[in-house]
């Protein structure tokens, strides 16, 4: 019985963590898949998403408005915050910075996105200050549920269906829409796609903005669970990279499987051998990369010269 | 708008370029504004001044809970010292009659950077003394450099016992007890208030601070309540923010008491998540640094959490006239209550002022040398804003103080957090006897403690 309880607790905790990290990592993977850019600024987009969401939720529940606004509307605020941050910062970064870098050495582009990340971190402190922001209301609103004697926050559990919806929408968008097919053509071969008349520059912009929205959404939906403080983007970007590396750079199913693997194994470590919690994620990553350097779902390809 | 390319002029679409320029302009304007603000005190100081170099976390995750209040404590003291408005007997103007001005730097970037910055402050900026270092890694790295450069260095917040147990310094002083007292006092508090505790669990950040705090606490608790068993030890990554899985384990293992030295945003996130899932209803929870966060958490912090302030500071300070003055002056200046890092830096500044005044008086007035100030500070015992500071360890360089814990309670009428059932523990009860290393003292069952 105890074994069953522990297994179920590991599964639930693992799935919650997987869903959360998938929401963060999927945008990173999408941008890499299409643009071939390792976007370190993703951590900054995540943090900006969290800040704007926390600020928005704070305003939403301000006594001035909360008397006539339905509390459940705050979930829409989280989503709107993510879209607003993703569109504005995505456009500024891609149109204002990255497009001048296309075609340059990968290392230079990584450095540029790292610089952008540092600027975003400073920008956060410039706009929001160093004090923490709280957006606990959506978290408290959903209450708790007891599963086998352990209480879980429904908000955290609801990240599981949310990530499934995001995953399904991305699958549908990539395989069942004209835009998805154009995108796949660009992923497959940028030059041929351009020769066939696809506006690659526009595909890049749209994809980057979409990836930015996903990154900001990871932050926005994290905000109600945590104290939103400076530096929160640094931690998550490292973790997201691990997930994407395990799954295979640029692969959406890879991101999902990577997140699932990281989440479940980490939860097992926390429950069974807590001292390994920090090590295990990177241990798994090292193991996967040792046998499949391109990641689980990554495609090995010959380097073009 | 145009840009040059090898092929000649090419049109750049105006909207994104406009957005970029506006963004850059806002950033530049912002940073210019900041620089102007920083220049003001330098311009105002025309007469001979004592320059203090201050290194604290002013950006990053530790800025809000520690760096900013710590800086506020120093700013308040500089104003009060320069205007002679400290309460008696500290109400003389200046230090040894000289005005004080500060140069602030950020503590971030790691120990190597801090050592370079320390040298810069001393050799390039010619500071007369240095106050700072929140991180243990930084204070341990900087102390030998302070000796080499012969500059008085006050350590107000860093808590590692290794600072004075593994070395001896002439130019370095620490005005708080080591972090061992946090764990020992917490154990005594649990014994006094919840003597029936049989099991303990923990959630601590996975680095030296979290591991040492937990080791000291579980040994101390096992010494004061024999037979207490450890049921789980959780070590999430520093700044993880997400403690859902760890809380599940703590809920499942049901420890009688849960120890946590999580700090900053981490402790706030932990409180959120534990309160939502009712962990506090099942276990007693000790948060050794949460005084710095309790007012920000407000009603989200459940009642009955055992709150520490790394000593008798903040809401756990002794209710003295000095404390009353400090709280009121701080609130008037910064529109918020002072939390423990503010007390810690303020008392370090006070120790320097007392020593400068004393050394100047001993030589019949004028500016004393650093060595004269150090001689005046060694074995100093003085009344500060939270408690009495007794520099009696480490050859008169390491403070020994009492410690305190209490329970959180939200005052719904006032809309603010308060503390109840505060207990103070005598310095002789929570500090190891003279010359005994704290790790050995705790492992040996804290022999010689006078409680």
Beta strands per DSSP E along A109-149? 144-147
- Dihedral angle, C-alpha B180, B181, B182, B183, nearest 10 °: 60
pLDDT at B13: 53
In the CATH scheme, what is the code of domain B180-309+402-443? 3.40.50.2300
What residues form DSSP beta bridges with A55?
Answer: none
Give start and end residues of each alpha helix (H) in A189-274. 190-195, 200-222, 232-247, 252-272
A227-242 b/e with 16+ CB inside 10 Å = b? bbbbbbbbbbbebbbb
In whole angstroms, what is the distance from residue A73 CA to residue B419 CA?
36
User: How far is the CA of A249 from the CAs of A39, A90, A204, A293, B303, in angstroms?
Assistant: 12, 20, 17, 10, 47
CB of B23 less than 8 A from some CB of A: yes
Q: What is the percentage of chain A residues whose pLDDT exceeds 70?
A: 98
B390-429 b/e with 16+ CB inside 10 Å = b? bbbbbeebbbbbbbbbbbbbbeeeeeebebeebebbebeb
Sketch the domain layout of chain B as residue ranges: 44-178+319-400, 180-309+402-443
Residue A301 clears pLDDT 70, i.e. is over it? no
Residue A26 clears pLDDT 50, i.e. is over it? yes
Q: Tokens for B186?
A: 């917490």
| Rounded to 5°, angle at Cα B346 from B340 and B351 | 130
Sketch the domain layout of chain A as residue ranges: 6-291
Q: Tokens for B427?
A: 């310095």
Q: Tokens 């703590």 belong to which residue?
A: B250
Question: For chain B, what's the residue count?
Answer: 451
Q: Tokens for A260?
A: 């699932």
The pLDDT mean for chain A works out to: 92
| Per-residue pLDDT tens digits for B430-448 | 999 988 899 899 999 999 8
pLDDT at B20: 52
Chain B hits for A156, CB-CB cut-off 8 Å, are 244
What CATH architecture applies to the domain A6-291?
Orthogonal Bundle (1.10)
CATH topology of domain B44-178+319-400: Rossmann fold (3.40.50)
- What string of DSSP letters covers B345-406? HHHHHHHHHHHHHHHHHHTTSSPPPHHHHHHHHTT-EEE-SSSEEEEEETTTTEEE--EEEE
Contact state of A227 with B265 under an 8 Å Cβ cutoff: yes
| Per-residue pLDDT tens digits for B272-323 | 999 999 999 999 999 999 999 999 899 999 999 999 999 999 999 999 999 9
| Rounded to 5°, angle at Cα B60 from B55 and B64 | 80
Top-confidence residue, A48 or B1: A48
CB atoms within 10 A of CB B126: 10
Series of mean pLDDT values for 10-residue runs along chain B (451 residues): 42 50 50 42 58 92 89 97 95 95 93 95 96 93 96 95 92 96 97 96 92 94 95 92 94 96 92 95 97 92 97 97 97 96 97 97 94 97 97 95 97 95 96 90 91 87
In whole angstroms, what is the distance from residue A300 CA to residue B37 CA?
55
Q: Tokens 């074994």 belong to which residue?
A: A3
| Per-residue pLDDT tens digits for A82-124 | 999 999 999 999 999 999 998 888 899 999 999 999 999 999 9
Which site among A24, A218, A226 would you substitute to test the B interface, given the most B Cβ atoms closer than 10 Å to its Cβ? A226
Do B44-178+319-400 and B180-309+402-443 show the same overall fold?
yes
Interface A–B counts its CB contacts (< 8 A) at: 150
Which helix (H) or strand (E) covers residue B9, if one does? strand B8-11
Which site among A48, A93, A270 would you substitute to test the B interface, given the most B Cβ atoms closer than 10 Å to its Cβ? A270
- For residue B97, the distance in angstroms to the closest alpha carbon of chain A comes to 36
**DSSP secondary-structure letter at B66?**
I
Contacting B residues, span 379-398, partner chain A, CB-CB under 8 Å: none
pLDDT at B10: 45
- What string of DSSP letters covers A25-53? HHHHHHHHHHH----TTHHHHHHHHHHHH
Least confident of A13-17, A231-235, B54-58: A231-235
pLDDT at A230: 86
- Specify whether the CB–CB gap between B406 and B422 falls below 8 A: yes
Q: CA gyration radius for chain B? A: 24
pTM for the full predicted model: 0.88
């Amino acid at each position: 019985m105890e074994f069953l309880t522990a297994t179920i607790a590991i599964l639930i905790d693992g799935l919650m963590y997987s869903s959360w990290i998938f929401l963060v990592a999927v945008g990173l993977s999408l941008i890499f898949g299409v643009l071939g850019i390792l976007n370190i600024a993703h951590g900054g987009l995540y943090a900006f998403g969290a800040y704007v969401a926390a600020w928005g939720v704070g305003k939403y529940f301000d006594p001035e408005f909360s008397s006539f606004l339905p509390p459940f509307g705050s979930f829409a605020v989280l989503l709107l915050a993510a879209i607003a941050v993703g569109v504005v910062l995505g456009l500024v970064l891609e149109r204002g910075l990255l497009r001048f870098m296309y075609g340059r050495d990968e290392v230079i582009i990584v450095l540029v996105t790292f610089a952008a990340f540092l600027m975003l971190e400073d920008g956060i402190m410039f706009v929001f200050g160093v004090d923490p922001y709280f957006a606990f209301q959506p978290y408290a609103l959903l209450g708790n549920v007891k599963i086998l004697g352990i209480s879980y926050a429904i908000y955290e559990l609801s990240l599981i269906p949310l990530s499934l919806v995001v995953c399904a929408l991305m699958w549908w968008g990539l395989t069942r829409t004209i835009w998805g097919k154009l995108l796949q053509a660009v992923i497959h071969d940028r030059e041929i796609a351009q020769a066939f008349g696809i506006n690659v520059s526009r595909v890049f912009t749209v994809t980057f903005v979409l990836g930015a929205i996903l990154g900001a959404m990871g932050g926005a939906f994290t905000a109600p669970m945590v104290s939103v403080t400076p530096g929160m983007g640094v931690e998550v970007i490292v973790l997201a990279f691990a997930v994407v590396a395990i799954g295979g750079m640029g692969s959406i199913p890879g991101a999902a499987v990577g997140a699932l693997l990281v989440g479940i194994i980490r939860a097992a470590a926390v429950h069974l051998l807590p001292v390994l919690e920090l090590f295990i994620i990177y241990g798994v990553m090292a193991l996967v990369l040792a046998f499949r350097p391109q990641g689980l779902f990554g495609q090995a390809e010959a380097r073009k010269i | 708008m145009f840009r040059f390319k090898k092929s000649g002029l090419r049109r750049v679409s105006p909207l994104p370029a406009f957005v970029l320029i506006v963004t850059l302009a806002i950033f530049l304007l912002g940073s210019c504004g900041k620089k102007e603000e920083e220049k003001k005190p330098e311009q105002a100081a025309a007469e001979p001044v004592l320059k203090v170099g201050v290194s604290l976390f002013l950006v990053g995750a530790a800025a809000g809970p520690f760096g900013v209040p710590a800086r506020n404590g120093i700013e308040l003291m500089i104003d009060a010292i320069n205007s002679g408005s400290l309460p008696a007997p500290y109400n003389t103007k200046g230090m040894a009659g000289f005005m004080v001005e500060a140069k602030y730097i950020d503590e971030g970037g790691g120990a190597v950077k801090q050592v370079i910055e320390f040298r810069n402050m001393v050799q390039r900026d010619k500071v007369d003394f240095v106050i700072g270092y929140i991180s243990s890694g930084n204070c341990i790295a900087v102390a030998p450099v302070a000796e080499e450069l012969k500059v008085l260095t006050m350590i107000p917040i860093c808590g590692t016992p290794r600072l004075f147990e593994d070395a001896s310094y002439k130019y370095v002083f620490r005005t708080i007890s080591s972090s061992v007292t946090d764990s020992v006092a917490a154990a005594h508090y649990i014994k006094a208030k919840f003597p029936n505790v049989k099991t303990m669990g923990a959630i601590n950040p996975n680095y030296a601070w979290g591991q040492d705090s937990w080791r000291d606490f579980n040994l101390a608790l096992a010494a004061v309540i024999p037979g207490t068993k450890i049921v789980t030890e959780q070590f999430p990554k520093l700044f993880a923010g997400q403690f859902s899985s760890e809380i599940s384990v703590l809920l499942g293992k049901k420890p009688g008491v849960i120890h946590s030295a999580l700090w900053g945003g981490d402790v706030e996130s932990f409180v959120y998540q534990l309160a939502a899932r009712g962990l506090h209803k099942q276990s007693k929870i000790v948060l050794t640094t949460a005084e710095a966060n309790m007012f920000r958490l407000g009603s989200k912090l459940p009642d009955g959490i055992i709150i520490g302030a790394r000593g008798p500071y903040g809401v756990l300070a002794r209710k003295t006239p000095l404390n009353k003055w400090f709280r009121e002056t701080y609130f008037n200046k910064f529109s918020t209550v002072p939390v423990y890092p503010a007390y810690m830096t303020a008392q370090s500044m006070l120790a320097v002022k007392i020593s400068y005044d004393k050394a100047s008086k001993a030589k019949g007035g004028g500016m004393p040398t650093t060595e004269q100030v150090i001689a005046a500070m060694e074995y100093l015992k003085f009344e500060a804003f939270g408690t009495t500071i007794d520099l009696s360890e480490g050859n008169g360089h390491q403070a020994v103080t009492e410690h305190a814990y209490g329970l959180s309670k939200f005052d719904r009428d006032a809309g603010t957090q308060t503390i109840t059932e505060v207990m103070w523990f005598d310095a002789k009860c929570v500090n190891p006897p003279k010359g005994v290393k704290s790790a050995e003292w705790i492992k040996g069952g804290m022999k010689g403690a006078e409680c």
